[in-house]
Amino acid sequence: MDISGKLYIWVTEIKPYEDKNYILDGRPFDDEYGFGLEDLRNYSGDILFVSSKEYTKSKVEIGLAHISRKGTLWTLKTDYLPITPFLMTSNTLIKHKYSGKISLNPSEEAKQIFNNFQSNIYPIVSTDFIGIIVYTNSSWWLEAFSELDKEILTKEQNIILSESSIEG
């Protein structure tokens, strides 16, 4: 699935900042800041909050903030916030497609990333979908999202670890 030109951020934590302003932590789907284009650092307009329990459209303003010892996070101004975790995207065609355990046979390069990265959350992209792989208790969990109307996980698929562009 092509992620260029659209905002895709997996939000894992929300902290109040000011009235209707929040600081978000999570993972971008591109190797920049999640805004879909190189060096783009803010977004204003319609956004979808999507998860297995949520599908809500809202008008927002999103920017970047650097916080000492936390790194680069996002600022969000909105009237509505869902419960974390959720996908925040400007792709208004996307839907939640799957939540559940999967089997994963990672490439050697992907194994190095899994072993060296401090997170257990990995944004991925395939031909048919984008998703978040979470590694916990020696098993893999997938949250998958797609624009396609058909089922997306009926076959084995190659995935790309989206932040590093390495085939998984």
Do 16 and 38 share a domain, yes or no? yes
Residue 3 lies inside a defined structural domain of this protein: no
In this predicted structure, what is the pLDDT of residue 122? 83
Please give the residue range of the domain that contains residue 100: 95-167
Do 59 and 102 share a domain, yes or no? no
Instruction: Give the pairing type, strands 130-136 and 121-125.
Output: antiparallel
Exposure pattern of 44-72 as b/e (b: 16+ CB <10 Å)? eeebbbbbeeeeeeeebebeeeeeeeeee
Q: Among 29, 55, 89, where does a domain finish?
A: 89
Domain total of the chain:
2
Do 30 and 85 share a domain, yes or no? yes
In this predicted structure, what is the pLDDT of residue 19? 76
In this predicted structure, what is the pLDDT of residue 6? 94
In this predicted structure, what is the pLDDT of residue 141? 87
In this predicted structure, what is the pLDDT of residue 36? 85
* pTM of the entire predicted model: 0.84
Those residues of the chain that have pLDDT short of 70 are 110-111, 113-119, 150-168
In this predicted structure, what is the pLDDT of residue 72? 82
User: How do residues 74-121 score in pLDDT, each as one tens digit?
Assistant: 999 999 999 999 999 999 999 999 898 877 777 777 667 666 665 688
Q: Among 89, 107, 142, where does a domain finish?
A: 89
